[in-house]
Amino acid sequence: MNKFDFWIRRIHSLAGVAALGGFLLEHLFTISKVMGGPGPFNEAVKALASMPFLVPIEIMFIGLPFAFHGILGVVYALKAKNNVSQYGYWNNWMFYMQRITAYIAFVFIAYHVWTLRIVGKAMGGNLIGFEYMHNVLSNPIVFGVYVIGLLSSIFHFTNGLWGFAVTWGIVAGPRSQRLVSLATVGLFVIMSSVGLTALFKFI
Domain boundaries, the chain: 3-202
Q: What are phi and psi of 150, to 5 degrees?
A: -65, -50
Cα dihedral 18, 15, 169, 175 in deg (nearest 10): 60
Give Cβ neighbours of residue 121 (< 8 Å, ≥ 6 apart): 127, 128
- C-alpha angle 145-148-152 in degrees, rounded to nearest 5: 135
Query: Rounded distance, CA 171 to CA 152, Å?
Result: 24
Gap between the Cα atoms of 95 and 115, Å rounded:
30
Helix 174-202, helix 3-32: angle, nearest 10: 40
Segments of the chain with pLDDT less than 70: 1, 80-89, 120-126
198 CA to centre of own chain = 16
Give the pLDDT of residue 92: 79
pLDDT in the model for residue 31: 94
The per-residue pLDDT for 84 is: 55
State the chain's mean pLDDT as an integer.
85
Q: What is the architecture of the domain spanning 3-202? A: Up-down Bundle (1.20)
In terms of DSSP H, where are the helices of the chain? 3-32, 38-49, 54-58, 64-79, 90-112, 130-137, 140-167, 174-202
pLDDT of 137: 95
Q: How far is CA 135 from CA 38, 126, 131, in A?
A: 13, 13, 6
What pLDDT is stored for residue 47 in this prediction?
87
